Amino acid sequence: MASKGVRKVARAAKKLGPKVFHPPFLKTDIPAGQAAAAPPLGPQLGQVGIQIAPFCKDFNERTKDIRPGIPLPTRVTVNPDRSFDIVIHQPPVSYFLKQAAGARIGARKPSHEIAGKVSLKHVYEIAQIKSQDPTFKFVSLETVCRSIIGQAHSLGIEVVKKLEADEYAQFLEERKLEVEEQDQKLEETRQSKMLRL
């Protein structure tokens, strides 16, 4: 009996309060200088009511000084008059880690293999760049570093105190052969599945 009364009061309270309006919002990664009406971006913009041509022109203009193709996490809020606000973040941590490690891809089995190595200096430099993002505005640099180290482990990238160039060049050569072998096995598995169909 009491729960029915509580539900009635809750419904009545909902009707009294002002209705909260959340403007359409889009969160996506867009390559620097390469926003285009083609999928996947065009349909995403259309779904939230953004005029595609002005958006692409604005985004490409704002990212013209960044090397084309670098993925940029972008947050777009659509205003009632169909104008929009764009917030462009720094490239993802995974992008920086793979670049610093010289790794094309992360580890397929992160706890069993090492995709690359980065030094603590790399982590600190990435943290300085990422701390410019609105997400990390009120976060200490140490916390950002810890977050980056955690992401490195999930990619199979080992964080070391110091890297020796010759040693690491040899590691990258061995890793390249390992990745080629993995790709070959995946392709063989894919082919055998296709033959079964």
* Average pLDDT, 10 consecutive residues per value, the chain (197 residues): 68 65 77 89 85 90 92 88 88 94 86 90 95 89 94 93 87 88 87 75
Q: What is 93-196's CATH number?
A: 1.10.10.250
For the chain, how far is it from start to end, CA to CA, in angstroms? 59
Instruction: Write down the pLDDT at residue 39.
Output: 87
Instruction: Write down the pLDDT at residue 90.
Output: 92
Instruction: Write down the pLDDT at residue 148.
Output: 95
Q: Per the structure block, which two tokens stand in for 162?
A: 């110091």
Say how far residue 121 (Cα) sits from the centre of its chain: 22
Instruction: Enter the pTM of the model.
Output: 0.75
Q: Per the structure block, which two tokens stand in for 63?
A: 């990212």
Q: Per the structure block, which two tokens stand in for 5?
A: 């009364």
Check if the beta carbon of residue 31 is closer than 8 Å to that of residue 69: yes
Look up the CATH superfamily of 21-88: Ribosomal protein L11/L12, N-terminal domain (3.30.1550.10)
Check if the beta carbon of residue 89 is closer than 8 Å to that of residue 72: yes
Check if the beta carbon of residue 72 is closer than 8 Å to that of residue 133: no
152 burial class (0-12, 13-18, 19+ CB within 10 angstroms)? buried
- In the chain, what's the furthest Cα-to-Cα distance? 76
Task: Sketch the domain layout of the chain as residue ranges.
Answer: 21-88, 93-196
